[in-house]
Amino acid sequence: MAVQSVTQSAPPLKSKASTHNFIENPKIPFAVAIVLGDAILAFLIIKYVPYTKIDWDAYMSQVTGFLGGERDYRNLKGDTGPLVYPAGFLYIYSAFQYLTGGEVYPAQILFGFLYIFNLAIILLIYVKTDVLPWWALCLLSLSKRVHSIFMLRLFNDCVAMTLLHAALLLIIHQRWNLGLIMFSGAVSVKMNVLLYAPPLLLLMLKAMDISGVLLALAGAALVQIMLGLPFLVSHPVAYISRAFNLGRVFIHFWSVNFKFMPEPLFISKGFAIFLLASHLMLLALFANCRWCKHEGGLINFLHSRYVSMRLRLALFFSSSFKKFGNGSSTPINVLTKEHIVTTMFVGNFIGIVCARSLHYQFYSWYFYSLPYLLWRTNYPTLMRLILFMGVEMCWNIYPSNSFSSGLLLCLHLIILWGLWSASPDYPYDGHDSEDPKQSTSDMTAFVQNLLQQMQTRFQTMSDSIVTKNILFRICNVFLDINALDEMGNRINELEQSINDLKAEMGVESSPSPVAPAKPKQEDGSA
């Protein structure tokens, strides 16, 4: 069966229309000015602010061992400990070592370009979604901590988030398969990107049929297999256990959040289970009451996809349909850019709120989504700015203390509550209609369209049989009447299966395909 992803939107008008939009929309020239201004600021930071030695030397030691032929993850170590990142990290930082010779200053320049590239991508996403006012875009370049993470500490979080933002840009332009490949590449650098996986899977189920989802997931899995192949072939257990270790316990001293908790409780398994349960519960609540509100809730949405899958499988495995149908699938839905970005950013933010430990470099995981999330709430502009500055302040207190840790948790919860109680003026769904029964109507139309196509094909078959009736009588030796009987029985079974599915969906019965009548034999015929 051919698989198609979401249909592409019409290409934008060019020439005079593009120039007119550039002039009329103040966000575009303002975003360009932000990129140019931040490029100058990045140059000044690299030139005049001292570099902070943390992980770069450890990265280079791990890369040197990899380039030297070591394929056992247990033996790839650096000053800060063993290698705990997937294989994509090694390939990218091997390229960095080649370009910079392992020296810090050239690496800072390289990360300066990476910072500007990432900023340009995120500004393009903001301009496309049109959520913030033009002046609020400057918030994306005002973080002291994020500038430090990119250009003074050279963390791999910077690479992972740049790839993630590139994947998100592809997805909002309906390039789902390519976006999933880019997303998998981001995961191969650092696993925190998996916080985006649950909302991304939900969006894929909305945008594509089940075959499209499986194809996209297969492409993402293939990326992981190909990148990790040298390690999977030689030492698979060591690679999987080290690179994809979901049970790591971070050091309490360096944590920015939950620092107010006693260390024994902080590192306890019970606290980890509590945070995991909270994470899953919040995802389920937002999925049911916000992201799938239009479809009548998460359960109804999943049920409709299950029914659709059964219908498609019934048609696909029908010998009559396979023979006379074209076997093509159609896109299910084209999601709006705002719905995609909101779902992805909120899903990641829920993971941030429920994370047991956030180190300073982890601020890059969600800083670029923070202005977007604040403007998705109902809070007044002044409160949005206060919340933004409060979060930024908490991340710049060094060393972190119990007060800033508790304040950061309170600010996160206030933002999360604002997202939960967001005004209906900012819909979370990707449809124009607010009717919760629209999804059922869409499925009804889909089923009726398929039935109409089958009716047309079967009528064509019947007309062809009647037209060639004489030829069939003459060439009766080549025509097996029992075969026609069998075909009619299969059509009747298919009709009954479709009616059962429609009854399960609560859709009223509609005219069903009629089995072609068996040609009658005249008296005395041969």
**DSSP tag of 142:** -
Of 226, 240, 218, 166, residue with least CA distance to 196:
166
298-316 and 197-207 helices, crossing angle to 10°: 50
- Kindly state whether residues 362 and 475 are assigned to the same domain: no
- Kindly state whether residues 218 and 158 are assigned to the same domain: yes
- Kindly state whether residues 350 and 475 are assigned to the same domain: no
Contact indicator for 408, 257 with CB cutoff of 8 Å: yes
What is the sign of the dihedral through the CA atoms of 268, 269, 270 and 276? positive
Domain assignment present for residue 188? The answer is: yes
- Kindly state whether residues 42 and 176 are assigned to the same domain: yes
Q: What is the mean pLDDT of the chain?
A: 81
Q: Phi/psi class of residue 11: alpha, beta or left (left: φ > 0; alpha: ψ in -120 to 50)?
A: beta
pLDDT tens, residue by residue, 284-321: 999 999 999 888 889 998 888 888 777 777 666 654 44
Domain assignment present for residue 37? The answer is: yes
Domain assignment present for residue 520? The answer is: no
What is the sign of the dihedral through the CA atoms of 346, 350, 351 and 357? positive
Which residue range(s) make up the domain with 470? Answer: 449-481
**Reduced DSSP (H G I as helix, E B as strand, rest coil) percent helix, strand, coil of the chain, to 5:** 70, 0, 30
- Kindly state whether residues 50 and 193 are assigned to the same domain: yes
Domain assignment present for residue 489? The answer is: no
3-state secondary structure of 2: strand
Cis ω before 399 (30° cut-off from 0): yes
Q: For residue 22, give every residue at least 6 positions away whose Cβ sits within 8 Å of its Cβ, in sequence order, or none.
A: 28, 29
Res. 102 pLDDT band, cuts 50 70 90: very high
> pLDDT: is 25 or 65 the higher one?
65
Query: Given this model, what pLDDT does residue 447 score?
Result: 59
What is the number of domains present in the chain? Answer: 2
Boundary (domain end) residue, out of 441, 462, 481 = 481
Q: Flag whether the pTM goes above 0.95.
A: no
Query: Given this model, what pLDDT does residue 318 score?
Result: 57
Res. 451 pLDDT band, cuts 50 70 90: low
Domain assignment present for residue 393? The answer is: yes
Query: Given this model, what pLDDT does residue 188 score?
Result: 96
- Kindly state whether residues 398 and 454 are assigned to the same domain: no
